[in-house]
Structure formats: C-alpha cells, structure tokens
Amino acid sequence: MLIAQISDLHIGPIGSSQDENYRTAHHLEAAVTHLLGLPRRPDVVVATGDLVDGGLPEEYARLRSILARLPMPVLVIPGNHDRRETLAAAFADQPWLPQGGGFLHYTLENWPVRVIALDTTVPGKASGEMCAERLSWLDQRLSEQPDRPTILLMHHPPFATGIAAMDEMGLSGKEAFAAVLRRHSQVERILCGHIHRPITARVAGTVATVCPSTAHQIALDLGPERRLAVIMEPPACMLHLWSPTGLVSHLSPIGHPTAPHVLFDGARWLPDNKLPPGFHLVAHRTSNTPPACSTSINDVSM
C-alpha cells in the first residue's frame, strides 16, 4: 500500500495574498499533477492540515476543485488555519469525517494499515493541544486493535523541532500523548504537518515525521532567537510505503525540472547512457521569487 502525504496547502480566495505571495493554488495543482504522474499511483492521499488559509467556505470550495483530479481517496485533518465546522461542511460527502461540531477525529479500518486521524487544533490559536478528552479517545481507539499496525495523522508534531518560533506554536500535552503511545506498540508512524519542513524524530518508541508544504517552506533556523522566515525551497510531498515488514517513508520533491538519467531500464544496465539535456540545470531565482521573506513572529501563525 502506498500512502501519499501532502500538507500545509494554505489555499486562499482567488487573488488573495496566498496567490500573490506564495502561489499556493498553483503549487497544489502541481502537486496533484506530480501524484498522478508517479510510477506507482498512491492508494490514498492524506492531507495533514492547514488545508486553507482562512477557514472560509470559498477557500474549501477552491481546494476541493483542485483535489477533484485525484481518483483515489483523500483524507483530511484540520490545522490551525482551518475551521472545524466549515471544513466538515465542505467534506460532508465523505463518510469518514464526523459532523456535529466536535473534534474531527476518525479511523479508517479497510486498509492493510489502520489510520487514526486526530484533531489537535484549538480555535483562535496557532498552537495545538492533546487534552484529556482527546487522549482518552486515542487510548480507546488504540486499545480496540492492539495487534493492528497503525498510522496516526495529526497537524501539530508531538515534539520540539528546534525552530524556536515554530515551537512556540507547538503542541501542548506532548508528555501525556507520549505516555499513551508507550502503552500501544502498534503505532508505526505519526504523520504531521505545521512546520513546513521535512523533519523526523523518535517519539515514545515510534517515529514521527513532518511533511513539507506543497508551497512555501519555513527557513531552517536552529538558533535561539525568535525569528521566522519563509523560503521558496522546493515543494514536496511524502510517500509512505507499507509492506508486511513495516512502513518506509520517502521525500518526493515536486516539479523537478530535469529528466532522470536512466542507469537500468528493467532489463539491462546502461553504463554508456548519456545525460538528458539540462540534467545539471540550476533554476535561477527571479525578482518575483525572493530567496526568503523574513516575518515578525507577531505577524504570522503558520
């Protein structure tokens, strides 16, 4: 089973600052094209939050119009930029997504690996939370099938990343969350978003990964200062391949400009195969795609 993960799509209304500054809709279109063109098409796509930028109905309508090209199921969870009720209404035709205004938790049971989706959002805040109610729900779900390999989906990573400004917008309840996981060894992976960077950490005996954004990334800054900058590093998705031996995760950059140099065509090695044109092409920045945009921590919530 192949699971594709996209995250932090930040779709805005047509003509919004998300279009002007970060071209998020354009980049999501490219991500969809990328997924459709993979040598092995994913069985399911998971989108780990910040689906839109302002939680508006027209943003979700635009999001769904872009995702409509994907023939496989698309599972969504909310991020801090989403609004639970509006998201649920926009995906009301999806039977797995709960309605009624509560947490958008759910499970998917009909695949080789079980999926448990968590809602870590706190309305009006950039940070997330795993409160006692959410932890109890997770503990109950994991107790139902202790021998079933399971993947968790959550927007806010359950660990500190070292990026000080983003960690201030992080998850509260990390220690209690880890205590629940230690009772349930079947969790194969925790798939997260929020940080706009590829990150991996060990958490309570399992592995947590953060998927980059399909558009703009957070500039890597591991210093102690509360700085935050956005950089147009290559957008990417993640591909999680499940087999009986476990889950293997790959980073898949979107929009690579050159053709691959084929070394083996499936039947024979090609030691003398020439490089394709533009193999070493370096994409030059233009005046309307600056290398990084520094932003005050007080003016943004990713």
pLDDT of residue 140: 98
pLDDT at res. 255: 83
Q: What are phi and psi of 298, to 5 degrees?
A: -80, -10
In 3D space, the residue among 134, 154, 239, 246 whose CA is nearest the CA of residue 203 turns out to be 154
In contact, 282 and 302? CB cutoff 8 Å: no
pLDDT of residue 40: 96
At 265 the pLDDT is 86
Spans in the chain with pLDDT lower than 70: 256-257, 281-302
Parse the chain into domains and list their residue ranges: 2-299
Kind and range of the H or E element at 44? strand 44-48
Q: How far apart are CA 239 and CA 295, in angstroms?
A: 31
What is the CATH code of the structural domain delimited by 2-299? 3.60.21.10
Phi-psi category of residue 285: left, alpha or beta, with phi > 0 → left and psi -120 to 50 → alpha: beta
Dihedral class, residue 68 (left if φ above 0, else alpha if ψ from -120 to 50, else beta): alpha
Q: Please tell me the distance from the alpha carbon of residue 207 to that of residue 210, in angstroms, as a whole number.
A: 10
At residue 282, the pLDDT reads 56
Q: What is the pLDDT of residue 285?
A: 44
